[in-house]
Amino acid sequence: MSHHTPGTSTIRAGDRRIAIIDDEKDLLFVYKKALELHGHKVVTFDDSSVALYELKERYKKYSMVLVDIRMPKVNGYQLINEIKCIDPLVKAILMSAYDVSDLEVSDHLNKDVKIDEIMHKPFSLIKLINTVNTLLEKY
């Protein structure tokens, strides 16, 4: 029995899913555990093409994506462009271990695509949790 009423735009905090896409499995594990300890439902992907398929097929289940920029197959910019095309309201955080300028980001994203945050690795788990919570409160 579903507790979600079709046609409603509000999502209860417990129903939100966060997708984290990064080719570094160790980081995925740490990020997932930290966010789950704070009550979030998290799905991780270490293969960006698998993530893209899942997010295209089941985009209504996700309220946020955290995406590493540099990955094999489908890079983070391509992923965000595709996801935002399907669901412009999904919150999007780009993650990178490299110095990324606003100009680089805007050059690689479609004109109408906006991200909510860029997080530079390494970042603390407290920063991750606070950023996710702040963005989801604005949902």
Report, as an integer, the average pLDDT of 53-64.
94
Contact in structure between 35 and 13 (CB atoms under 8 Å): no
Domains of the chain in sequence order: 15-137 (3.40.50.2300)
Residue carrying the six token digits 């893209």: 52
55 pLDDT higher than 70: yes
Q: Is the pLDDT of residue 114 over 50?
A: yes
Q: What is the pLDDT of residue 106?
A: 92
Least confident segment among 14-23, 34-43, 103-112, 125-134:
14-23
CA 26 and chain centroid, separation: 17
pLDDT above 50 for 62:
yes
Going by pLDDT thresholds of 50, 70 and 90, the confidence category of residue 33 is very high
- Mean pLDDT computed over 32-43: 97
The full DSSP string for 54-105 is HHHHSGGGEEEEEEESS-SSS-HHHHHHHHHHH-TTSEEEEEESS---HHHH
pLDDT for 138 equals: 75
